[in-house]
Amino acid sequence: METEIPSPKKSLVLAGGGMRVAYQAGVVLALEEAGLRFDHVDGTSGGIFNTAMLASGLRAKQMAGNWRTLKLSGFVSFTRFRNYLNPFKINGFADADGIKNKVFPHLGINISKINANTDFQASFNVCNFLEKSVEAIPGEIVKQDHLLAGVSLPIFMPALQIDDTWYTDAVWIKDANLLEAVRQGSTDIWLVWAIGNTPTFLRGSFSQYVHMIEMSANGGLLEEYKQIELIKKLRKLEGDDTPIRLFVIKSRIPLLLDPDFFFNKINARELINIGYSNAKDYLKAVPEGGEVLDESLTKNREPNYILSFRSCFSGSIKMENETVGVGFHLYFRFCEFGASHVLEIYSSLEDRKKGEEQPCFSHTFSKTKSAFQTKLVIRGKVIRGVELLDFDAETTMTNPIELLLGLNFKRLNFKLRRENDKLIGQGILTQSMKDRIGAMFYAQVKSIFPQRIGIKKKIKLIEKFIAHEI
Protein backbone atom coordinates (compact mmCIF):
# COMPACT_ATOMS: atom_id res chain seq x y z
CA MET A 1 0.00 0.00 0.00
CA GLU A 2 1.41 3.37 -1.04
CA THR A 3 1.90 6.02 1.60
CA GLU A 4 -0.12 9.13 0.82
CA ILE A 5 2.13 12.18 0.57
CA PRO A 6 0.52 15.06 2.47
CA SER A 7 0.07 18.31 0.58
CA PRO A 8 2.25 21.18 1.79
CA LYS A 9 0.73 23.39 4.44
CA LYS A 10 -0.12 26.75 2.90
CA SER A 11 -0.35 30.26 4.32
CA LEU A 12 -1.95 33.24 2.64
CA VAL A 13 -0.29 36.45 3.86
CA LEU A 14 -2.29 39.60 3.16
CA ALA A 15 -0.06 42.64 3.59
CA GLY A 16 -1.23 46.21 4.10
CA GLY A 17 -1.79 49.00 1.62
CA GLY A 18 -4.57 51.21 2.96
CA MET A 19 -7.84 50.98 1.06
CA ARG A 20 -5.91 49.67 -1.95
CA VAL A 21 -6.30 46.23 -0.38
CA ALA A 22 -9.54 45.89 -2.37
CA TYR A 23 -6.92 44.62 -4.86
CA GLN A 24 -6.51 41.54 -2.66
CA ALA A 25 -10.14 40.49 -3.15
CA GLY A 26 -9.43 40.01 -6.86
CA VAL A 27 -6.30 38.00 -6.07
CA VAL A 28 -8.20 35.79 -3.61
CA LEU A 29 -10.89 35.15 -6.24
CA ALA A 30 -8.28 33.96 -8.76
CA LEU A 31 -6.60 31.74 -6.15
CA GLU A 32 -9.98 30.29 -5.17
CA GLU A 33 -10.80 29.52 -8.82
CA ALA A 34 -7.42 27.79 -9.13
CA GLY A 35 -8.41 25.45 -6.28
CA LEU A 36 -5.87 26.80 -3.79
CA ARG A 37 -6.95 26.33 -0.18
CA PHE A 38 -5.06 27.75 2.77
CA ASP A 39 -4.46 26.34 6.23
CA HIS A 40 -3.54 29.74 7.60
CA VAL A 41 -4.42 33.32 6.64
CA ASP A 42 -2.52 36.25 8.14
CA GLY A 43 -3.36 39.95 7.90
CA THR A 44 -1.38 43.09 8.65
CA SER A 45 -2.59 46.71 8.47
CA GLY A 46 -5.13 47.00 5.60
CA GLY A 47 -4.78 43.26 4.96
CA ILE A 48 -6.68 42.79 8.23
CA PHE A 49 -9.91 43.75 6.43
CA ASN A 50 -9.65 40.85 3.97
CA THR A 51 -8.34 38.37 6.53
CA ALA A 52 -11.29 39.22 8.77
CA MET A 53 -13.74 38.80 5.88
CA LEU A 54 -12.36 35.35 5.05
CA ALA A 55 -12.40 34.35 8.74
CA SER A 56 -16.02 35.57 8.94
CA GLY A 57 -16.91 32.91 6.36
CA LEU A 58 -17.10 35.02 3.18
CA ARG A 59 -16.09 33.59 -0.17
CA ALA A 60 -14.07 35.64 -2.64
CA LYS A 61 -17.05 36.75 -4.76
CA GLN A 62 -18.82 38.05 -1.65
CA MET A 63 -15.67 39.90 -0.62
CA ALA A 64 -15.38 41.54 -4.02
CA GLY A 65 -19.06 42.49 -4.04
CA ASN A 66 -18.80 44.06 -0.60
CA TRP A 67 -15.76 46.10 -1.62
CA ARG A 68 -17.48 47.35 -4.80
CA THR A 69 -20.50 48.65 -2.87
CA LEU A 70 -18.63 50.08 0.12
CA LYS A 71 -19.16 53.80 0.74
CA LEU A 72 -15.77 55.34 1.37
CA SER A 73 -17.33 57.90 3.69
CA GLY A 74 -17.30 55.13 6.30
CA PHE A 75 -13.54 55.54 6.59
CA VAL A 76 -13.99 59.20 7.55
CA SER A 77 -14.93 59.70 11.20
CA PHE A 78 -13.94 62.97 12.79
CA THR A 79 -13.06 63.26 16.43
CA ARG A 80 -14.51 66.00 18.65
CA PHE A 81 -14.10 69.52 17.24
CA ARG A 82 -12.25 70.86 20.26
CA ASN A 83 -9.48 68.30 19.67
CA TYR A 84 -8.58 70.04 16.40
CA LEU A 85 -7.99 73.32 18.24
CA ASN A 86 -4.69 71.92 19.53
CA PRO A 87 -3.25 69.89 16.61
CA PHE A 88 0.06 69.32 18.43
CA LYS A 89 -1.69 67.31 21.15
CA ILE A 90 -4.35 65.56 19.09
CA ASN A 91 -4.41 61.72 19.33
CA GLY A 92 -5.36 61.38 15.68
CA PHE A 93 -7.08 63.39 12.97
CA ALA A 94 -9.90 60.83 12.93
CA ASP A 95 -11.24 58.05 15.15
CA ALA A 96 -12.22 54.43 14.55
CA ASP A 97 -16.01 54.86 14.88
CA GLY A 98 -16.66 54.93 11.12
CA ILE A 99 -14.69 51.74 10.53
CA LYS A 100 -16.32 50.00 13.50
CA ASN A 101 -19.90 51.08 12.79
CA LYS A 102 -19.97 51.28 8.98
CA VAL A 103 -17.01 49.63 7.25
CA PHE A 104 -16.82 46.41 9.28
CA PRO A 105 -20.58 45.67 9.07
CA HIS A 106 -20.73 46.40 5.33
CA LEU A 107 -17.72 44.20 4.59
CA GLY A 108 -19.32 41.38 6.61
CA ILE A 109 -16.70 41.32 9.36
CA ASN A 110 -18.14 39.53 12.38
CA ILE A 111 -16.05 38.92 15.51
CA SER A 112 -18.19 36.02 16.77
CA LYS A 113 -17.76 34.20 13.45
CA ILE A 114 -14.02 34.92 13.42
CA ASN A 115 -13.63 33.51 16.94
CA ALA A 116 -15.61 30.38 15.95
CA ASN A 117 -13.90 29.86 12.57
CA THR A 118 -12.35 26.40 12.13
CA ASP A 119 -11.85 26.40 8.34
CA PHE A 120 -8.30 27.75 8.75
CA GLN A 121 -6.11 29.38 11.37
CA ALA A 122 -6.35 33.16 11.21
CA SER A 123 -3.89 35.64 12.71
CA PHE A 124 -4.06 39.41 12.93
CA ASN A 125 -0.93 41.52 13.45
CA VAL A 126 -0.82 44.55 15.71
CA CYS A 127 1.99 46.59 17.18
CA ASN A 128 2.27 45.99 20.92
CA PHE A 129 3.48 49.45 21.89
CA LEU A 130 4.61 48.32 25.36
CA GLU A 131 7.06 45.83 23.83
CA LYS A 132 7.57 47.70 20.54
CA SER A 133 6.97 44.41 18.74
CA VAL A 134 4.50 42.79 16.39
CA GLU A 135 1.98 40.56 18.11
CA ALA A 136 0.06 38.04 16.01
CA ILE A 137 -3.36 37.66 17.65
CA PRO A 138 -5.00 34.27 16.88
CA GLY A 139 -8.46 34.42 15.36
CA GLU A 140 -10.07 32.45 18.18
CA ILE A 141 -9.26 35.14 20.76
CA VAL A 142 -9.05 38.31 18.67
CA LYS A 143 -11.21 41.23 19.76
CA GLN A 144 -12.79 43.90 17.63
CA ASP A 145 -10.43 46.46 19.19
CA HIS A 146 -7.45 44.41 17.98
CA LEU A 147 -8.74 44.69 14.41
CA LEU A 148 -9.34 48.42 14.80
CA ALA A 149 -5.89 48.97 16.33
CA GLY A 150 -4.33 46.97 13.51
CA VAL A 151 -5.60 49.47 10.92
CA SER A 152 -4.95 52.61 13.01
CA LEU A 153 -2.08 54.48 11.39
CA PRO A 154 -0.37 56.91 13.79
CA ILE A 155 -1.27 60.58 13.22
CA PHE A 156 -4.36 59.61 11.22
CA MET A 157 -5.98 57.42 13.91
CA PRO A 158 -5.26 56.98 17.63
CA ALA A 159 -3.77 53.88 19.23
CA LEU A 160 -6.19 51.73 21.24
CA GLN A 161 -5.70 50.54 24.81
CA ILE A 162 -6.59 46.87 25.29
CA ASP A 163 -6.04 45.17 28.66
CA ASP A 164 -3.62 47.88 29.88
CA THR A 165 -1.51 47.73 26.69
CA TRP A 166 -1.54 50.20 23.81
CA TYR A 167 -1.87 48.75 20.29
CA THR A 168 -1.57 50.33 16.87
CA ASP A 169 -0.88 49.50 13.21
CA ALA A 170 2.10 47.17 12.81
CA VAL A 171 3.25 48.67 9.50
CA TRP A 172 6.12 50.63 11.06
CA ILE A 173 7.73 47.33 12.11
CA LYS A 174 6.51 45.04 9.34
CA ASP A 175 3.66 44.98 6.86
CA ALA A 176 3.61 41.22 6.31
CA ASN A 177 4.32 38.56 8.92
CA LEU A 178 6.01 35.76 6.98
CA LEU A 179 7.56 34.38 10.16
CA GLU A 180 4.12 33.77 11.65
CA ALA A 181 3.38 31.61 8.61
CA VAL A 182 6.63 29.69 9.26
CA ARG A 183 5.68 29.32 12.93
CA GLN A 184 2.34 27.88 11.82
CA GLY A 185 4.29 25.16 10.00
CA SER A 186 3.57 26.36 6.47
CA THR A 187 6.00 25.44 3.72
CA ASP A 188 4.18 27.35 0.94
CA ILE A 189 3.62 31.04 1.68
CA TRP A 190 1.56 33.13 -0.73
CA LEU A 191 2.14 36.84 -0.19
CA VAL A 192 -0.22 39.44 -1.70
CA TRP A 193 1.60 42.78 -1.77
CA ALA A 194 -0.14 46.12 -2.38
CA ILE A 195 2.44 48.55 -0.97
CA GLY A 196 4.54 50.44 -3.50
CA ASN A 197 8.27 49.93 -3.97
CA THR A 198 9.54 52.58 -6.35
CA PRO A 199 12.97 54.24 -6.80
CA THR A 200 11.98 57.92 -6.91
CA PHE A 201 11.82 59.95 -3.70
CA LEU A 202 8.94 62.37 -4.29
CA ARG A 203 8.31 65.82 -2.87
CA GLY A 204 5.53 66.74 -0.44
CA SER A 205 4.66 65.72 3.11
CA PHE A 206 2.05 63.13 2.09
CA SER A 207 4.33 61.47 -0.48
CA GLN A 208 7.11 61.30 2.07
CA TYR A 209 4.79 59.87 4.74
CA VAL A 210 3.97 57.16 2.20
CA HIS A 211 7.70 56.70 1.53
CA MET A 212 8.26 56.08 5.27
CA ILE A 213 5.63 53.35 5.18
CA GLU A 214 7.24 51.86 2.06
CA MET A 215 10.68 51.88 3.72
CA SER A 216 9.39 50.23 6.89
CA ALA A 217 7.27 47.68 5.02
CA ASN A 218 9.88 46.67 2.45
CA GLY A 219 12.76 46.84 4.95
CA GLY A 220 10.87 44.57 7.35
CA LEU A 221 10.21 42.13 4.52
CA LEU A 222 13.91 41.97 3.61
CA GLU A 223 14.78 41.11 7.22
CA GLU A 224 12.19 38.33 7.18
CA TYR A 225 13.77 36.91 4.02
CA LYS A 226 17.11 36.68 5.85
CA GLN A 227 15.52 34.98 8.83
CA ILE A 228 13.73 32.46 6.63
CA GLU A 229 17.00 31.61 4.86
CA LEU A 230 18.66 31.13 8.25
CA ILE A 231 15.81 28.88 9.43
CA LYS A 232 16.21 26.76 6.29
CA LYS A 233 19.97 26.40 6.88
CA LEU A 234 19.49 25.43 10.52
CA ARG A 235 16.86 22.85 9.59
CA LYS A 236 19.17 21.39 6.97
CA LEU A 237 21.92 20.95 9.57
CA GLU A 238 19.41 18.91 11.57
CA GLY A 239 18.64 16.74 8.54
CA ASP A 240 15.35 18.46 7.70
CA ASP A 241 15.14 19.40 4.02
CA THR A 242 11.55 20.65 4.23
CA PRO A 243 11.36 23.65 1.88
CA ILE A 244 9.92 27.04 2.65
CA ARG A 245 8.68 28.50 -0.62
CA LEU A 246 7.46 32.05 -1.09
CA PHE A 247 5.14 33.15 -3.91
CA VAL A 248 4.46 36.87 -4.40
CA ILE A 249 1.57 38.48 -6.28
CA LYS A 250 1.77 42.22 -6.85
CA SER A 251 1.03 44.90 -9.43
CA ARG A 252 3.89 45.62 -11.84
CA ILE A 253 2.94 49.31 -11.91
CA PRO A 254 2.40 50.96 -8.48
CA LEU A 255 -1.22 51.07 -7.36
CA LEU A 256 -2.71 54.52 -6.85
CA LEU A 257 -2.85 55.80 -3.28
CA ASP A 258 -5.81 56.25 -0.92
CA PRO A 259 -6.52 59.91 -1.91
CA ASP A 260 -6.98 58.74 -5.52
CA PHE A 261 -9.47 56.15 -4.21
CA PHE A 262 -11.33 58.81 -2.20
CA PHE A 263 -11.58 61.14 -5.21
CA ASN A 264 -12.69 58.33 -7.54
CA LYS A 265 -9.58 58.36 -9.72
CA ILE A 266 -9.64 54.62 -9.14
CA ASN A 267 -12.33 52.56 -7.45
CA ALA A 268 -12.70 49.18 -5.75
CA ARG A 269 -13.96 47.51 -8.93
CA GLU A 270 -10.81 48.51 -10.81
CA LEU A 271 -8.50 47.44 -7.98
CA ILE A 272 -10.27 44.07 -7.83
CA ASN A 273 -9.94 43.64 -11.60
CA ILE A 274 -6.22 44.49 -11.47
CA GLY A 275 -5.64 42.02 -8.63
CA TYR A 276 -7.56 39.27 -10.38
CA SER A 277 -5.71 39.76 -13.67
CA ASN A 278 -2.31 39.94 -11.93
CA ALA A 279 -3.02 36.70 -10.05
CA LYS A 280 -4.20 34.91 -13.20
CA ASP A 281 -0.97 35.92 -14.95
CA TYR A 282 1.12 34.74 -11.99
CA LEU A 283 -0.67 31.38 -11.83
CA LYS A 284 0.29 30.69 -15.45
CA ALA A 285 3.98 30.49 -14.51
CA VAL A 286 4.34 29.84 -10.78
CA PRO A 287 8.06 29.28 -9.98
CA GLU A 288 8.33 25.64 -8.92
CA GLY A 289 10.84 26.29 -6.15
CA GLY A 290 9.30 29.58 -5.09
CA GLU A 291 10.78 33.05 -5.51
CA VAL A 292 14.40 34.00 -4.89
CA LEU A 293 14.29 35.94 -1.63
CA ASP A 294 15.80 39.31 -2.52
CA GLU A 295 14.89 42.98 -2.80
CA SER A 296 13.52 42.63 -6.35
CA LEU A 297 10.40 40.75 -5.25
CA THR A 298 8.25 43.76 -4.41
CA LYS A 299 9.78 46.30 -6.79
CA ASN A 300 7.44 48.11 -9.16
CA ARG A 301 8.21 49.41 -12.61
CA GLU A 302 7.83 53.17 -12.26
CA PRO A 303 6.50 55.14 -15.26
CA ASN A 304 7.59 58.70 -15.96
CA TYR A 305 3.94 59.42 -16.74
CA ILE A 306 0.81 57.33 -16.35
CA LEU A 307 -2.56 58.12 -17.95
CA SER A 308 -5.49 56.24 -16.40
CA PHE A 309 -9.20 56.34 -17.20
CA ARG A 310 -12.31 54.14 -17.23
CA SER A 311 -15.18 53.34 -19.60
CA CYS A 312 -18.44 51.77 -18.42
CA PHE A 313 -20.76 50.28 -21.06
CA SER A 314 -24.22 48.77 -20.63
CA GLY A 315 -26.81 47.03 -22.77
CA SER A 316 -27.98 43.54 -23.69
CA ILE A 317 -26.27 40.49 -25.14
CA LYS A 318 -28.31 37.99 -27.13
CA MET A 319 -27.20 34.57 -25.92
CA GLU A 320 -28.19 31.15 -27.28
CA ASN A 321 -31.37 30.88 -25.21
CA GLU A 322 -31.84 34.28 -23.57
CA THR A 323 -31.11 37.97 -23.67
CA VAL A 324 -28.90 39.10 -20.81
CA GLY A 325 -28.59 42.65 -19.49
CA VAL A 326 -24.92 43.37 -18.83
CA GLY A 327 -22.43 45.98 -17.82
CA PHE A 328 -18.89 45.92 -19.17
CA HIS A 329 -16.38 47.90 -17.15
CA LEU A 330 -13.01 48.86 -18.66
CA TYR A 331 -10.01 50.47 -16.98
CA PHE A 332 -6.93 51.65 -18.91
CA ARG A 333 -3.43 52.44 -17.64
CA PHE A 334 -1.17 53.91 -20.33
CA CYS A 335 2.38 54.21 -19.02
CA GLU A 336 5.27 56.18 -20.52
CA PHE A 337 8.81 55.01 -19.77
CA GLY A 338 11.01 57.45 -21.64
CA ALA A 339 10.73 56.42 -25.29
CA SER A 340 8.69 53.25 -24.62
CA HIS A 341 5.06 52.81 -23.64
CA VAL A 342 2.95 50.09 -22.02
CA LEU A 343 -0.83 49.80 -22.18
CA GLU A 344 -2.55 47.79 -19.45
CA ILE A 345 -6.25 46.96 -19.82
CA TYR A 346 -8.47 45.53 -17.07
CA SER A 347 -12.17 44.72 -17.20
CA SER A 348 -15.13 42.94 -15.63
CA LEU A 349 -18.44 41.67 -16.98
CA GLU A 350 -21.56 42.29 -14.92
CA ASP A 351 -24.66 40.08 -15.25
CA ARG A 352 -27.34 42.50 -14.08
CA LYS A 353 -30.10 39.89 -13.97
CA LYS A 354 -28.17 37.71 -11.52
CA GLY A 355 -26.55 40.65 -9.76
CA GLU A 356 -23.11 39.11 -10.28
CA GLU A 357 -19.87 40.56 -11.62
CA GLN A 358 -16.88 38.59 -12.88
CA PRO A 359 -13.42 40.07 -13.54
CA CYS A 360 -11.82 39.23 -16.90
CA PHE A 361 -8.23 38.26 -17.66
CA SER A 362 -5.65 37.59 -20.39
CA HIS A 363 -6.38 40.91 -22.10
CA THR A 364 -4.85 41.68 -25.47
CA PHE A 365 -5.62 44.48 -27.91
CA SER A 366 -5.21 45.45 -31.53
CA LYS A 367 -5.73 48.72 -33.39
CA THR A 368 -6.42 49.57 -37.00
CA LYS A 369 -6.35 53.12 -38.35
CA SER A 370 -8.44 54.63 -41.14
CA ALA A 371 -8.65 58.21 -42.37
CA PHE A 372 -10.75 59.60 -39.52
CA GLN A 373 -10.73 57.04 -36.73
CA THR A 374 -8.89 54.25 -34.99
CA LYS A 375 -10.61 50.98 -34.24
CA LEU A 376 -9.69 49.39 -30.90
CA VAL A 377 -10.39 45.68 -30.36
CA ILE A 378 -9.91 44.28 -26.87
CA ARG A 379 -9.84 40.52 -26.41
CA GLY A 380 -9.79 38.51 -23.22
CA LYS A 381 -11.25 35.65 -21.21
CA VAL A 382 -14.07 35.51 -18.69
CA ILE A 383 -15.61 32.74 -16.58
CA ARG A 384 -19.40 32.68 -16.88
CA GLY A 385 -20.90 30.14 -14.51
CA VAL A 386 -18.56 27.18 -14.90
CA GLU A 387 -17.65 27.91 -18.53
CA LEU A 388 -14.50 29.68 -19.74
CA LEU A 389 -15.36 32.03 -22.61
CA ASP A 390 -13.45 34.34 -24.93
CA PHE A 391 -14.70 37.86 -25.64
CA ASP A 392 -14.10 40.54 -28.27
CA ALA A 393 -14.95 44.16 -27.49
CA GLU A 394 -14.66 46.60 -30.40
CA THR A 395 -14.96 50.39 -30.22
CA THR A 396 -13.64 53.43 -32.06
CA MET A 397 -11.50 56.46 -31.23
CA THR A 398 -11.25 59.63 -33.29
CA ASN A 399 -8.84 62.29 -32.03
CA PRO A 400 -7.28 63.34 -28.70
CA ILE A 401 -9.52 66.38 -28.17
CA GLU A 402 -12.73 64.37 -28.57
CA LEU A 403 -11.38 61.61 -26.36
CA LEU A 404 -10.40 64.20 -23.74
CA LEU A 405 -13.91 65.70 -23.85
CA GLY A 406 -15.61 62.31 -23.47
CA LEU A 407 -16.90 62.19 -27.04
CA ASN A 408 -15.35 58.78 -27.86
CA PHE A 409 -16.19 55.25 -26.69
CA LYS A 410 -19.89 55.70 -27.44
CA ARG A 411 -20.60 52.15 -28.62
CA LEU A 412 -19.00 48.78 -28.08
CA ASN A 413 -19.60 45.72 -30.23
CA PHE A 414 -19.34 42.87 -27.72
CA LYS A 415 -19.06 39.17 -28.61
CA LEU A 416 -18.74 36.02 -26.50
CA ARG A 417 -17.26 32.81 -27.87
CA ARG A 418 -16.50 29.36 -26.60
CA GLU A 419 -12.91 28.21 -26.85
CA ASN A 420 -13.75 26.41 -30.11
CA ASP A 421 -14.47 29.91 -31.52
CA LYS A 422 -18.22 29.27 -31.65
CA LEU A 423 -20.13 32.55 -31.25
CA ILE A 424 -22.65 32.19 -28.40
CA GLY A 425 -23.56 35.80 -27.63
CA GLN A 426 -23.29 39.29 -29.03
CA GLY A 427 -24.70 42.75 -28.59
CA ILE A 428 -24.12 46.48 -28.93
CA LEU A 429 -23.30 48.11 -25.60
CA THR A 430 -23.36 51.86 -25.13
CA GLN A 431 -21.80 54.36 -22.79
CA SER A 432 -23.99 57.28 -21.80
CA MET A 433 -22.81 60.84 -22.26
CA LYS A 434 -22.87 61.21 -18.47
CA ASP A 435 -20.57 58.22 -18.05
CA ARG A 436 -18.25 59.40 -20.83
CA ILE A 437 -17.87 62.89 -19.42
CA GLY A 438 -17.62 61.52 -15.88
CA ALA A 439 -14.95 59.04 -16.95
CA MET A 440 -12.83 61.77 -18.48
CA PHE A 441 -13.42 64.03 -15.45
CA TYR A 442 -11.97 61.30 -13.22
CA ALA A 443 -9.19 60.47 -15.69
CA GLN A 444 -5.79 61.61 -14.57
CA VAL A 445 -2.14 61.85 -15.47
CA LYS A 446 0.40 61.16 -12.72
CA SER A 447 4.13 61.83 -12.95
CA ILE A 448 7.30 61.36 -10.94
CA PHE A 449 8.39 64.87 -12.00
CA PRO A 450 7.58 67.90 -9.83
CA GLN A 451 6.42 70.09 -12.73
CA ARG A 452 2.70 70.69 -13.11
CA ILE A 453 1.09 68.52 -15.80
CA GLY A 454 -0.67 70.78 -18.28
CA ILE A 455 -3.30 70.15 -20.93
CA LYS A 456 -0.64 69.87 -23.65
CA LYS A 457 0.98 66.90 -21.93
CA LYS A 458 -2.38 65.21 -21.44
CA ILE A 459 -3.21 65.61 -25.13
CA LYS A 460 0.26 64.32 -26.05
CA LEU A 461 -0.27 61.19 -23.95
CA ILE A 462 -3.72 60.62 -25.44
CA GLU A 463 -2.22 60.94 -28.93
CA LYS A 464 0.33 58.28 -28.03
CA PHE A 465 -2.39 56.10 -26.50
CA ILE A 466 -4.45 56.26 -29.72
CA ALA A 467 -1.41 55.49 -31.87
CA HIS A 468 0.12 52.89 -29.53
CA GLU A 469 1.21 49.74 -31.44
CA ILE A 470 -0.65 50.55 -34.65
Per-residue model confidence as pLDDT tens digits over 395-442:
999 999 988 888 889 999 999 999 888 999 999 999 998 999 888 899
Q: Within 10 A of 360 (CB to CB), how many other CB atoms are there? A: 26
User: Does residue 90 have a pLDDT over 60?
Assistant: no
- For strand 121-128 and strand 40-44, is the pairing parallel, antiparallel, or unpaired? parallel
Q: How confident is the model at residue 275 (pLDDT cuts 50, 70, 90)?
A: very high
Q: Indicate the range of 74-88, 185-199, 275-289 predicted with least confidence.
A: 74-88
- Continuous segment of H or E residues that includes residue 428: strand 423-430
- Identify the three-state secondary structure at position 204: coil
pLDDT for residue 157? 80
User: Does residue 367 have a pLDDT over 50?
Assistant: yes
Residue type at position 268: A
pLDDT for residue 391? 97
Give 73's DSSP letter: G
Q: Within 10 A of 396 (CB to CB), how many other CB atoms are there? A: 16
Are 194 and 250 in contact, with CB atoms under 8 Å apart?
yes
Percent of the chain with pLDDT over 70: 95
pLDDT for residue 470? 81
Q: In the predicted model, what is the mean pLDDT of residues 205-224?
A: 92
**440 Cβ contact list (under 8 Å, min separation 6):** 309, 403, 404, 405, 406
DSSP characters for 170-196? GGGT-S--HHHHHHTT-SEEEEEE-S-
User: Does residue 36 have a pLDDT over 80?
Assistant: yes
Q: Which pTM does this prediction carry?
A: 0.95
Out of 3.40.1090.10, 3.40.50.300, 1.20.1250.20, 3.40.50.2300, select the CATH number for domain 10-284.
3.40.1090.10
Q: Give 147-165 pLDDT, tens digit per residue.
A: 999 998 887 788 899 999 9
DSSP characters for 361-381? EEEEEEEEE-SS-EEEEEEEE
Catalytic site residues?
45, 169
- Continuous segment of H or E residues that includes residue 223: helix 205-237
